[in-house]
Structures are given as structure tokens and as C-alpha cells.
Structure 1
Amino acid sequence: MASACTNATTTVRSVRLFRIDGFSLVSSTMGHDECFKFRWDVDGYEWELHCFPSYFSAVWLKLMFLSDADATCNVRASLGYLLVHPGLDGLSQERRTSDVFKRPNDCTQQVYLVNKVDLPVPSRSSDDHLTVQCTITILKDLPEVPTSVPVPTSNLHLHFGELLRSGTGADVTFLVSGESFLAHKLILAARSPVLMAEFFGHMREASSPNVVIEDMEPAAFKAMLHFLYTDTVPELDHELQAVAPMAQHLLAAADRYGLDRLKVLCEGKLSGGITIDTAATTLALAEQHNCSHLKTKCIEFIISTPAVFDAVVATEGYRHLEASCPSALTSILLSMRGRRY
């Protein structure tokens, strides 16, 4: 069976000659820590070669990294160095050092090039030079090739939202407190079991192009329609204090039309901001529309302390709760049994 090999890296290589004229003279006047510097750009990175001509009677080299490494990876590079000089064939063997560079001024270790006593005495001034062939090799990771074609995120809700906005192909008009809303029976029926029965069952709305909606605010109905088409409720994306009335109306609408997800969204929103002023009315709403989680949250808040309980009992909402949902009062009393304040 044939085998295959895939390269995960590639290399970038650059070669240059660096020459110091009058080497014997200048090297005799330089200290151990003094050096010649040569700038070099390779693959978008800036480098600097340091040549120390009098480092304890020998010539030494060092490579310094001057750029910033990539945010996702460090720079792996090597320096190859070869002395180029007539009559030094025995000494002219390329050597190499490598390192990983992470930040500006990172360096390789100093590397030995040649002992100065091994350099031939120049017979004339034109021969008095030191030439070094240097090679920088950068090892680069190849970008990862995706194993599959990236799939865009779904924008189905955007298309359906535009269909609702434009009204193209609408076959039903809802009349809500003097306002009209165009819609599509098939889409609504697919989302709501109640509307499925109304439009495609034996109810009178099945063939009617107009449907009158009673006991619902136009804004709440519009928000519900938007949810039916897009599965989103932008009206609930603000602080609860600003959207509590809308959340309450939408919860009732969701229960009315069998929209379980919308009902849970509204229940969660209302559960997150129960106050003394809203506790009783929210509890009545939860009792009427069978929202067990919201009901539990309301009762826990009401009986949390005697002061909170007394404050809630004094609200208008509590009097409404007494009149409309006596069963909720029983739940409160049962929850208070055995509680010690």
C-alpha cells in the first residue's frame, strides 16, 4: 500500500556576504565587547548580525532579532556562517546555530568563527579584509488546511423576517384594535398548533382572509408575529423594568397560541426581576398561565422576609391576586408553614 507524506512546514532562506575592509587595523583597535553591526530583512522580519573582531583574540558572531514575533507563534530561525577568504580552504566549513525568537533583542548565543592568528597576513592592503557568508533560514508553519468547507451560519430567520416585513404572498390579515397585520397562514400554522387548527381545521377562520384578534395589544401581537417568523424576540433584549409589560402580554399570548418556547423566554425574563410592586401581579399571571417556575420564584420572593411580605400585601396587585387567584394565596400559606423568621 502506498504511503503519503504531507509537509507541515516550509522554509525561507536568505544568503548575504558581509565584508570588513582594513580588518587587521580596525580589529586591533576595538575592545572585546565592540562589534560591527549589519541589518538584514528576511521574510518581513528585521535581523542584525553582530561581528566581534577582537573577542579574546578570535572573531565571534551573534544574530539578534529586532521585530515582534507573531501573536500566534514564535519565530524559529537558524544562522549559517562561512568564512570566505583565499587560502583558508581548510577553515572554510559552514557551521550553524539555531534558536527560537519571541521578542525584540532576542539573540543566538555567540558563535566562534576563526582565531585571528589563523588568518593569513595580507600581502597588500586590498587583501586586508574579512568576508563572511551568512545564511538565515526561517522555518514557518504552513497554515492549517481546513478538512471541510466552512458552512455559513443559518440566515433563514432573516429571510422569513423580510417576508413578514414585505408582506409578499400574504394570505391573511389580522385586525388588532384598529391595526392590521399581513401574514402567511402556512408559516403561522407550522409554528402554532392553535393557528393550525384555526386555518386548516373546521373553524370559521379556515377560509376567511381576515381574522379579528380580541384582548391583545397590537404591539404584543406584532412581537408575537415576529417570533413566529424568526424565533427571536428583540423586545425582550432590554432591562426588565423597561420590558416587563411586554413580557407579561407576550407570556399570555404564548400560552393562548401554544408557543412553548416564547412562553419560557417570557417566564425567564420575568423571573429575573421580581420586585415588591410586581410580585403579586406576576404571581397571578403565573397562576393563570400555568408557569410553575415563575410561580415558585414569586412565592420565594414574597415570603423571603416579614418586611417584604407585609409590603407586598399592601400593594394593589395583591388585592387583585386575592380576587382573581385565591389558589395562589393557598400556595403562599403552604410555603410559609414551618418557616421561621
Structure 2
Amino acid sequence: MARVVRFHRLGGPEVLQIETVNVPPPARGEVQIRVKALGLNRAEALLRAGTYIETATFPSGLGLEAAGTVEVVGEDVTGVMPGEAVSIVPPVSMVRWPAYGELATFPAELVVKHPSELGFEAAAAAWMQYLTAFGALVDIAGLGRGEAVVITAASSSVGLAAIQIANRIGARPIAVTRSSIKRRSLLDVGAADVIASTEQDIRSRLQDTAGSDGVRVVFDAVGGPAFEPLTAAMTPGGILIEYGGLSPEPTPFPLFHVLSKSLILRGYLVHEILRDPARLARAKAFILDGLSDGTLKPIIARTFPFEEIVEAHRFLESNTQFGKIVVTI
């Protein structure tokens, strides 16, 4: 028996319940871990609310990131042993393999022995953010040394991961955030410049900071009216990678800029990296190297105990955090 988080209806954070259930042993090719820490993601709030790309089946578990120790290994599993410290590459389906619980089971290929110096909290906060940012900036856009990259929602965990990855490869990250409140913090974590979108003109500021040639790569989680000034500041042949939709306002199609500059507007989900073994292997190698040498370091906004999972989700939806929210068990 183990405590898990489940919900029996769609709704706000209050629908989450901690329940004691029988957790079956791992099947062939699976690994069961005793969870020490969970990393929270907006996708989990969307699943809970019924607005995610995956549909909950009640009672539904949830959760995409965990770190802990190996409890039991299923048949045909090699490479990990009971007692070893591991973390989880996010599964494609959190309904099938939910992470929120004292015991959680995952496919063996998603179980990673992370650097021992990382610790469970940081390990639980690492994989989703770095895989998402790496897949966009390196795997798809081919961001190179010396290039500028615009990163919106820059104080989110993925935004901060993108700043760190850009710096690791020698690129120049330009952070876009709503107000100047987080400006100093973003500069401290490696942003080359910070644009406050509600206080400054994005297009003119990008032209000032990126130069007359414009920006080739934009990594956007917001959409909405900012599409027009972002694309206006892009270089011919540039690529805008959209991985979210945080803006409540409609997103206009910037037809003139797309046509005149031959821009690429590309939707992106981290699942395309997770489903491709070769691309995932390259991403894991880059991330593990960065975690080992310290160029990639998860930034944790706040830690909650397991018993306060509802409060943790409320904080997740407050949009006030700087970095990742972690829950410890």
C-alpha cells in the first residue's frame, strides 16, 4: 500500500486527494521507484482542469517528473538495481504512468541514474525543463555560438532552462518577461538582456539589443498579441518555436512578416523528442553533461511537503514563481 494523489473530477487544485491504494509490482520492462521528490509542471494543472492534450480517466493519477530510489525492477530490466538513486524522463502519458505517489512505476528506458551530487529535489526538477528547451533550441533550431535567441516566459522553469542551455553553447539569451520585477534575477541567472513586455516596446527593444540584422530564433510559450512584434524583429529565414499558449488573448497570424521574411512558425511538444530514441539519447547526453559540470543547474522556486499538494498546485497557478516547484515525500 502507498499514498498517491488522484482526482475523481475535473476542477481546481481542491479536487486533488491523497489516497492510500495498492500499487501493483512493475510489469516486464518497468521499474518501480520509491519517490523522494516530485517536479510540478503546468501540464499537470491542465490535465486536472480538463484542458490538456491527454484526457483523464477517473480516478486519475497525474505527474510527469520524479526522483527517488529503485524499489523493484521488472523482468528483463538491466542497468538499474534496487536502492540506486534515479530520476525520471517524463513519460508520454501521465495517466498511464503517474508520478504523484510514494511508489511510482515507469518504463525502464525512462529511468536515469543522474549525477549523485544533484540530490533528489534538483533531479526531480531537471528533465522536463531541459528536455523541452534542448529539443527546441538545439535539436530543432540548431542554435549556434554567438547567436541571439529570444526566450519568452523567461522566469518559468523552461525559460530558465533555455537561458542556461543558450549560455552553455555560447549563444546570447534575451529574456522576455511581463514586468521588470524579475529583471535582476533573470540577469543574475545568465540572461544577456531582459525585456519587460508590459512596460516596453518589444520590437524596438529587440532591435536595440539584437542589432539591425534581427533575431533568427524565438522560443515562445505565450502567443497572443506579442506575435506581431516578435516576428517583426526576426531575421529573414528565422524560426519561431511555439510550445505554449499562456496568453488569454487571440494570437494573430503575422502574415506580412512571415511572407516578407520567409519565416518558419513551428509548433512544438517535447513528446517528439521523447518518442524518438536517437533524439532523446542526444538530449540526455547533453543534459547529463551539463548537470555534471554545473552549467545546467535547476532553479527551485519553492518546495512543498507531499501533504500540501493542493497548496503546491495553487502556487503553480499563481504565475509568481521563479523556477521550478518541487514536492518532497
Tell me, yes or no, whether TM beats 0.5: no
More helix by share: 1
Question: Rg: which structure is higher?
Answer: 1
TM-score range, shorter chain: under 0.3
Greater RCO structure (CA 8 Å; 6+ sep)? 2
